[in-house]
Structure 1
Amino acid sequence: MSLKSTKEQLIQLLADKDNKVIALSGKWGTGKSHMWDEVKKSSADVDVQNALYASLFGLSTIEQIKIKLLQSAVPSMKANPHLWKSATEVYKTGVKALEGVHKSLGALNDIGLIFAPAMLNNKIIVLDDLERKHERLNIDEVLGFIDEFTQQHDSRFVLILNSDKLDQRKIWDTFREKVIDEELRLNTSTEEAFKIAVGLSPSKYEATIQCSVELCKLTNIRVIQKIIKAINRILGNREDLSEAVLYRVIPSTVLLAAIHYKGIDDGPDFDFVLSQGSDRDWSVLHDKKVEETEESKRKSKWKLLTTELGIRGCDDFELVVIEYLESGLFDVSMVTAIVDRYIAEEDALEARNACNKFLERLAWDYRMNEAQLLEEAALVVAKAHLLDPYMVSSLHENITEIPGGQQIADAAVAGWIEAFRARNLEEAELNNFFNRKIHHLIESEFNNINNKAQVKTTILDACFYVAKNSAWGARQELAFKSATIQDIESIILNSGISDLKFFMFKMLDMCIHRKTYESYLNPCSFFL
């Protein structure tokens, strides 16, 4: 039952005095204790208002439970001076009488336990966190205590527990038949859980977070609250975040945080999320001839989730989020720079969102015929130049699969290449950290630019790069290996004083440390 209907049922069960023991079970973090607090605060029943509460978390003896309940009784007794005075007099008289029998009893801090039956008599007693009790406290002892107080002291009990995590299932099932009168199982909806969580931890990004939380089917209030806090900290109180930017950063943050905080049963791991759109993307359909395995079914389920969330690729932002979740620390300036980049590229983000929506409709909207799909594809292709090279490659691949879509798909790649060339870049790095698929024509464009940049790289440029980065790449190595005596003479004759000094000192360093450098250099030019 949902939170609302379970709450109504619990109120009805409490109104029936014949229900001595009511069990309220459900998954961890779904609001069982929260619901009890609401029932107690809103009840007009005096017995419910004065109910005693004890969490069994870490308790190892029945005596500790009784002490917790007696402590719970103190506020209500203080609110009733007559009742408090009577209890105090009974306590003092009892201690004095017992001291007369045995002096050592007066030194006991828990002497009030002797009067626990009288103080707990005819009370509603709530025992929470039964599954988190200490291992030394057996469940049969707890249920024996319940049986004693219901039979001999007219007490009533509400047991709150996560029955899925309860040990000693056989004992629990046996005593449930003998002790418990009614049992309610709480199945909190995602909407109910989010409403409670956002009430405890408000966020200006509430609407976008809720959408992603519902797609992840999260019902653990504590986990949702942690996710909201993580997003609030990562994004801060920025007022300049558009819907397109929020759609880019929040879904992946919700999913990664849900994974970290164990909020998804049998959910994906970080590596699966980071692999989206790459060659490692486990969404690749397996061979139809190969029997489907449990592992492939799980990955298909995970892929469906990431697709629904609109996560088709990851970048530095997801890496920053994971670092924060694992360490509790993150570089504020780095997050700011990434989000600022998203804001500056808002048109590109909107184009990305349009592309994601089209791909979603292509996969799921069976009502659209091929002509309608191609018509929508043409609208997306018109903005293909704003997409990153990996997304436009994916767009091309998907449109090609539509009968008659080859020309539109090719137009997407051609439009992207035309815009790319118009930027007149001297060099361009793919930075394909996640090894994502890329169209061969787009890859050729990057290779052409970098090949031209390679030709323009002089050994002076290479020296500056090595000095700055304490390392070199293929471009610098090729510049050193291809350098001739004439190239070195040209730099010496044509460089300014500052560059000449730097270059000569670097050449001397290479000569002194010849063994370190000789495998990377042209020996005919450097080591004559």
Structure 2
Amino acid sequence: MDAEKIKLELDYFIDNPLPEVLILKGKWGSGKTRLWQDYFLTSKNIINEEYKTYSYSSCFGCNSLNELKKQISENRTQIKNKPPIHYTLKEIFEVIFSKQKDKKSKLKSLFSKLYSHLPQEGKISFIAGSLFGLISFLFNFIFTKLAEIFSISDGILLNLGTIYNRISFALIKKSIVCIDDLERKGKGLEIDDIMGLVAFLKEQRLCKVIIILNENAFSDLGPELKQIIKYKEKVSDSEIEFTPSIDELIEIAKPIGKNEPHSIIEYCTKLDIRNIRIILKINKFIDRLHSIHPEYEMESDTRAYLYNKIVFYFFHHYSKEPDNTAISSTIKIEDIPDLLNGNFYTQLASSSDERFSEDKEIVDSKVQILLEYGGLEVDSFDEILTTYLKSGEFNTEKLALTIKEISNRLTRYREQGSLDDIRNLWLRNLSDDTTQLRDLIFQRAYSGIQYWSGNDLRSMIFYLDDIIQDEDGTKEIIDLFIEKQGLIEEVFDLSDPDPIYTSPPTNEYFLQKCNEFQEMKKRNLLEEEILDDVFQNSRIDPEQKQVLENSESAVFLEYMEKIDDRKLHSKMQRTIQLISTSRPLLEKMEEALSTIGSGSNYQKMKVVKHLETIQSHLKRIKETEGTNREQK
């Protein structure tokens, strides 16, 4: 039965003035409790006037009937949104015993408020019950304090507590009572005791009782399942089973305050997820993800890629039922990247892991589930999800960088389709007329070269240099790539060739840029070594000084950002003193510190004194240079 039909049955159950028992059953995690609670919260203002109070209790871990009775009485609340009458009575007593002035008008207001709470019928019993609520609260508070002062034994407290609980339970009448989690009861609580209590509440206390249970959970318990079947026929008036669709589960589990659930229906449907607890965990992670990267700022394909992988990992981590399609019984979530990369079977063959003692056909079927799911690629998001699911760590900085990388990659894939157009055009038109091919290459380059991979650039160099034989065009496309992406290692480091692209271009201008990259790499390593010497050992020779004076300010910034905040102050003092006679080095240091200080007030506070020292040295150097010019 779907959610709408269940709600119609609940309407009939609530509207009927007679006491009765309803059993709401469904599979584990199907959202039975969530459905009932959502229904009750939205319906309680138009609830049956015959039933003034409501109590929810769970049998989870409950080991005796007295524990369950105590829960029912302690959790009793008024259904209407008015505050319970004993709160008003408490206010009256506070005013009577207070020293405030104008008690008369205050009491008059409170008694009017008290009168507005009284029902038209049964005023005496209602007042008696409310007075008991107040008296029991005062009794409990006073006796606890006395017990602390006079060291009253636990036995006496236990006996008095039992008396209090019995009196409190005696006031349960004409209530709506929900008893949940029968299948999770403690060993000391018997099914026939629970059912006997349900019958008592209905017949003697004129209550409406709704029982929520997963009947399938008793299938392995034999005698208890027989007891359930036996007593529910005698006790219950009606029985309904909640079998929601995936769409309904996602709607029920949508985050509080959102009009629409997260768009995960497609991925939950692929895996046939029918457990609301897993969906709630997925929603929680997605909400945290959007706290650092709002949904409205995310491209639809990026969001789809992330949701697809989140749903897959969460399902296969949390789904433990033996009859589902989860791979978690065979493959751990940390195995998934190896499987997608094709390394899984190699590991399986050489592993002594007990998971791989299963029949190979079973393993194959589990692997096939993963491969058929689709849309999965190995990237740093796999590691983020695995770490979160294993340890609960949510690495905000790494996740933000990963989302940016994925977004760029997917944007590049969109552009890659246009590069395929270039390849197709070349294959269709192998004549000497290459003007159309050249125009299409530059059209695609100026619209999306910032998303090209190294292989994309090399392919276009092949067309321009080898096919079209356009030397100027080849040079232009290489310069445009460097302008947008820089001399990146993926493209220009031929010392570590890409295994996918075994034949790098032979174009002279491209090879010249590869040599420039190698020189830049050597220079960066040399500059870092010199900065290590300066900051760690407080020394610099004239040759090292010359290298740093010819370097970029960014070199200083990158190095200084790596220094531990606790050591920055002392290292900066020594380094500034060491380079205090070099105007170029002081200016580079000033620029780097200014950039660091612009990050936040805390960062500004860290560098402000060092900036003042540098500016003092620069002022002295400039004055000296001015004096020297005048003398000349």
CA distance in 1, matches of 2:284, 2:403: 18
Letter in 2 for 1:126: C
Task: Please show how residues 275-354 of structure 1 align to structure 2 within 5 Å.
Answer: 275=338, 277-280=340-343, 293-305=361-373, 307=374, 310-311=375-376, 313-345=377-409, 347-351=411-415
Identity among equivalent pairs (%): 18
Counterpart-to-counterpart distance in 2, 1:145 and 1:430: 78
Cα 1:203–1:319, aligned 2, differ >3 Å: closer, same or farther?
farther
Match runs of 1:100-249 below 5 Å:
108-115=160-167, 118-150=170-202, 152-166=204-218, 168-180=221-233, 181=236, 182-200=238-256, 202=258, 208-235=263-290, 236-238=292-294, 239-249=296-306
Task: Give me the CA root mean square deviation.
Answer: 5.0
**Following superposition of structure 1 onto structure 2, how do residues 72-91 of structure 1 map, counting pairs within 5 Å?**
72-73=75-76, 75=78, 78=85, 80=118, 82=123, 83-87=125-129
Give the TM-score normalised by the residue count of structure 2.
0.51
* 2:58 is equivalent to residue 55 of structure 1: yes
Query: Separation in 2 of the partners of 1:267 and 1:430?
Result: 43
Check if 1:428 corresponds to 2:490: yes
After TM superposition, give the deviation of residue 315 of structure 1 in Å: 0.8
- The amino acid that maps onto 2:194 is V
Q: Deviations over 1:375-413 (max 9, x none)?
A: xxxxxxx999978699x9xxxxxxxxxxxxxxxxxxx99
* Superimposed CA distance per residue, residues 404-460 of structure 1 (whole angstroms, 9 cap, x where no aligned partner): xxxxxxxx99669769995697853899xxxxxx997624549x999x989x979x9
Map of 2:544 onto structure 1:
498
Structure 1 residues without counterparts, runs of 5 or longer: 94-103, 283-290, 356-381, 393-411, 432-437, 469-494, 503-528
| Contact 1:194 1:219 survives alignment (8 Å) | no
Q: For 1:430 and 1:27, how far apart are their aligned partners in 2?
A: 58
Compared CA separation, residues 245 and 501, structure 1 to 2 (3 A): closer
Within-5 A mapping of 1:386-425: none
Which residue matches 1:378? none
- Distance in 2 (CA, whole Å) between partners of 1:273 and 1:105 is 57
Secondary structure of 2:310's aligned partner? helix
Q: TM-score, normalised by structure 1?
A: 0.59
Alignment CA distance shift 1:295-1:252 (3 Å): same
Please give the alpha-carbon distance, in whole angstroms, between the structure 1 residues aligned to 2:393 and 2:318.
16
- Give the partner amino acid of 1:347: T
Instruction: Give, in angstroms, the shift of residue 159 of structure 1.
Output: 0.8
Tell me how far apart the structure 2 counterparts of residues 173 and 117 of structure 1 sit (CA, whole Å).
29
Q: Which residue does the alignment assign to 2:12?
A: 12
Q: Give how far 1:68 is off.
A: 1.7
Q: Assess, with a 3 A threshold, how the Cα gap between structure 1 residues 225 and 441 changes in structure 2: closer, same or farther.
A: closer
**Letter of the aligned partner of 1:84 in structure 2?**
F
- Give the distance between the partners of 1:330 and 1:106, measured in 2 at CA: 45
SS at match of 1:168: coil
Contact kept in structure 2, 1:53 and 1:127, CA below 8 Å: yes
Task: Report matched runs for 1:38-53 at 5 Å.
Answer: 38-40=38-40, 41-42=42-43, 44-47=47-50, 50-53=53-56
Q: How many Å separate the matches in 2 of 1:39 and 1:232? A: 24
Whole-Å separation in 1 of the counterparts to 2:229 and 2:492: 63
- Structure 2 unpaired stretches of 5+: 86-116, 137-155, 346-358, 420-443, 466-473, 530-540, 549-632
CA pair 192-462 structure 1, distance change in 2 beyond 3 A? same
Note closer, same or farther for the CA distance 1:414–1:243 as it changes in structure 2 (3 Å cut): same
Offset at 1:194? 1.8
Aligned-partner Cα distance in 1 for 2:78–2:503: 76
Whole-Å separation in 1 of the counterparts to 2:64 and 2:32: 24
Check whether the contact 1:67–1:110 (CA below 8 A) recurs between aligned residues.
no
Pick which of 177-186 and 60-69 moved more. 177-186
Q: What is the aligned partner in structure 1 of residue 537 from structure 2?
A: none
Q: Which moved more, 1:224-233 or 1:62-71?
A: 224-233
**How many correspondences in the alignment?**
399
CA distance in 1, matches of 2:240, 2:50: 20
Tell me, in whole angstroms, the C-alpha distance in 1 between the residues paired with 2:464 and 2:393: 39
1:96 corresponds in structure 2 to none
Distance 2:388 2:319 in 1: 16
Give the equivalent residue in structure 2 for 1:442: 501
Tell me: CA distance 1:351–1:134, structure 2 relative to 1, closer, same or farther (3 Å). Answer: farther
